[in-house]
């Protein structure tokens, strides 16, 4: 996993490639195309690129209009603006009529870094997950992002795709990789505990697996790239097999992956669950790696939660 690429970079490249084969794709941005990487598409297809300016509500409303005309709009801005400023337009103009709009939001989570709390969206998954009919995708690396963008374009209906600013390890090999909306991927088998991760925390979960292995703990690792619809079948199967779960996400533990997993297991196969994520806090300005340590989002933090959940498992 030595090669690192930001998922926003992968998004820009995937869009530009899709534009070659699908002439119905149009791309909209709110004056951030160099940062969101939609500029890659704009350079190749200027006639299908629309900069609406610093007007996120207009961004979503215009995207909805394109969708009613048979186009496949990808609307991009920073996650904090896309899900915050434009929530009503996403809910009422896109999701309610189930229009075919793809919201690709970059700069999500605390790894935005020095931009600070006002620009660090730690609640976007929770917001989008609560909207009826909204698909929510949080890819882990370059390969998964490119595949997710293609899958989103082929899927009919509203999709929210969470992308990051920070360069992250490339986990997957492009050859043979298969992305399916709503289906998790087992990256490592294990029998003592299941680590369920999403986004940039998948790489951290794989590192945690190796640390745990050295301690004699067998951890199953699952990449849940689709938060909604979540892969209930895989979660339930893993809960039965290992009897304990740790979730990991660069997002609030309220309403994100951890909440989604707890909703599944509490109703179907109650097992102890510990959640690695942001604990009801805002972000702050700092270097991404420093913030990950400060907010306890490291492989070592996952290991500590695994040890804790195994104690609960033994108590049961």
Burial class (CB in 10 A: 0-12, 13-18, 19+), 243: buried
Dist. CA 134–CA 110, nearest whole Å: 23
**Catalytic site residue 56?**
yes
Catalytic residue among 56, 123, 144, 305: 56
Dist. CA 260–CA 265, nearest whole Å: 9
Dist. CA 239–CA 316, nearest whole Å: 14
Dist. CA 190–CA 233, nearest whole Å: 17
Burial class (CB in 10 A: 0-12, 13-18, 19+), 287: exposed
Check whether the bond before 74 is cis (ω within 30° of 0): no
- Cα–Cα separations (whole angstroms), residue 277 to 90, 238, 253, 283: 26, 21, 5, 12
Residue 137: phi, psi to the nearest 5?
-120, 135
* Catalytic residue IDs: 56
């Amino acid at each position: 996993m030595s090669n690192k690429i930001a998922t926003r970079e992968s998004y820009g490249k995937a869009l530009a490639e899709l534009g070659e084969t699908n002439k119905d794709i149009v791309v909209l941005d709110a004056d951030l195309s160099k940062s969101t990487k939609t500029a890659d598409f704009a350079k190749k297809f200027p006639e299908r690129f629309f900069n609406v300016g610093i007007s996120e509500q207009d961004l979503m409303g215009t995207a909805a209009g394109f969708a009613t005309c048979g186009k496949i709009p990808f609307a991009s801005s920073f996650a904090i603006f896309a899900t915050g400023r434009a929530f009503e337009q996403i809910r009422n103009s896109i999701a309610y009529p189930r229009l075919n709009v793809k919201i690709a939001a970059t700069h999500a989570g605390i790894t935005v870094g020095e931009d600070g709390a006002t620009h660090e969206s730690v609640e976007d998954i929770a917001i989008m997950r609560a909207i009826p009919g909204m698909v929510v995708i949080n890819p882990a690396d370059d390969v998964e992002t490119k595949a997710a963008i293609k899958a989103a374009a082929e899927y009919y209906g509203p999709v929210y795709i969470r992308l990051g600013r920070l360069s992250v390890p490339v986990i997957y090999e492009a050859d043979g990789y298969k992305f399916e909306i709503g289906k998790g991927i087992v990256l490592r088998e294990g029998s003592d505990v299941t680590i369920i991760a999403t986004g940039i925390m998948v790489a951290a979960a794989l590192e945690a697996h190796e640390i745990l292995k050295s301690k004699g703990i067998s951890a199953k690792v699952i990449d849940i790239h689709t938060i909604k619809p979540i892969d209930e079948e895989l979660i339930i199967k893993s809960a039965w097999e290992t009897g304990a779960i740790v979730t990991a996400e660069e997002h609030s533990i309220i309403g994100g992956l951890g909440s989604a997993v707890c909703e599944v297991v509490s109703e179907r196969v109650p097992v102890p669950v510990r959640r690695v994520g942001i604990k009801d806090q805002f972000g702050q300005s700092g270097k991404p790696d420093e913030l990950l340590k400060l907010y306890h989002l490291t492989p070592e933090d996952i290991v500590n939660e695994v040890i804790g959940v195994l104690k609960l498992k033994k108590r049961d």
